[in-house]
Amino acid sequence: MVNVKFNPKSSIVLLLSAYFVVGYAAKTNEVEKIVPGATLIPLGILVIGGGYLFSRSVARKPFGLFPTRLRLFYVYVAVSLVLLVVANLNSLRPAYSISRAILSIGILALSIIFFWQALRVMEQTEMRSGSPLTYSLLALLVILLLGQLTIPEWAAGVGGVRMSGGSNPNQVAFLAFFAIFWAHYSALKNKLWKKREKALYVIAFIVLAWSLSRSVILTFASLYFMYFGIIGALHLSRFLRGRIQLGFLRKMAAAGILCLSILPAMPAFKETVYILRDLQKVEQRLSGESGLQTRLRAWKDVWPYFIEAPLTGHAGWWNSTDLISQKGGPKTATSPHNLYVRLLSEVGVFGFLVVLSLPILLFYTIVSKLVLLRSRESEFKVEAFLASSIIAVFIGQGFEDRYMVGLGGIGSGIVYFILCCSINKVVYKYGSRE
């Protein structure tokens, strides 16, 4: 049973939970049909959250709208705003692109501030031991699984084997990835895997696997490949220095025995699963190239705008999707589906570096701490997980485009939240005593 003592600051965490849960629900087909402008609901929740923080600032209460510890982030926002405006002066539609660049920077700033304050509340109050975000994500994913099993219209992909979650497979997959991130991050911060984190992780993994989203599965695989690689490097360094722990050796031995015990059953297992007709459809989804081909056509449509003006781009901020819709046909993706191609075509190398400087600097700062091996093991794992998450998300952006796009949707919001967790770690000097 969750023991949470409510106080006014807890409203920040409740709004954060509503942002992700209600924000996803607003993207489902059923809600979009009956609620005009449903896609703006997440932005509305962000604005409400910003208004609440502002009211606390006016009342001179803690957890206000302009926390002083984010001073360097404010500098980044101001510099990025100026540089993106300059880059868009050379765009096809300067007024259109400049106004939307300003809007994107504003949403980024509001999101980071709001998420950061919510994290501070969760870590400094009783909400940390019973996070509504964990339970609300768990409830949402369970509802989506039940809906997928009972609503025929939710079937998607080849043969209808993919989970769409009422919106589309990639969207529900990214939500599941976020739930996996949050469950693991919470467990690392609390130094304990509680039942709620375990349940959220398992359910989210099922949703991710069922979605068959190649880009998000790649993100997930990249996260843990890098994370366990870093943890393995830590233990290797300890082994070489004669400081390896007996518990780690026991875990490695148990994992080896488990793998060896599965090997004799593999031939029988393979023969059994291949009699399932739908397995071929799953294999076609994971190994097929149809989705890649449509995205390659979209990339080819916008790439010339980078060639025309390599430094500033020529398409203009938020304009690449419109250009693709004008040029592309039914066999072309409806959007760039590649953050890097979009940035280069819209704002060139200049804007590319401006936009990506925040995640790059965060990654560099955390990794520079990891290399020194001076953190306690619990802090080291948090740092390794955050660094791995940043890299994984931006590897996935080579096949998706979720960073600084849209009007406050949860796609960009998830990326902002992961970056915000890293900002929180950096600002508070890697888990200094709070």
**Once rounded to an integer, what is the mean pLDDT over residues 86-104?**
91
**Once rounded to an integer, what is the mean pLDDT over residues 377-388?**
87
127-180 confidence digits (pLDDT tens) = 455 578 999 999 999 999 999 999 888 877 666 788 888 888 899 999 999 999
pLDDT value for 431: 42
Backbone angles phi, psi at 206, to 5 degrees: -60, -45
**Once rounded to an integer, what is the mean pLDDT over residues 82-105?**
91
Burial class (CB in 10 A: 0-12, 13-18, 19+), 70: buried
pLDDT value for 38: 83
pLDDT value for 239: 64
pLDDT: is 274 or 191 the higher one? 191
Residues facing residue 156 across a β-bridge: 162
Which two three-digit tokens encode residue 220? 């997930």
User: DSSP labels for 255-286?
Assistant: HHHHHHHHGGGHHHHHHHHTT-HHHHHHHHHH
User: Band of the pLDDT at 391, cuts 50, 70, 90?
Assistant: very high
d(CA 424, CA 286): 36
**Once rounded to an integer, what is the mean pLDDT over residues 226-244?**
73
312-362 confidence digits (pLDDT tens) = 888 888 888 777 777 665 555 666 788 898 899 989 999 999 999 999 999
The mean pLDDT value of the chain amounts to 81
pLDDT value for 315: 85
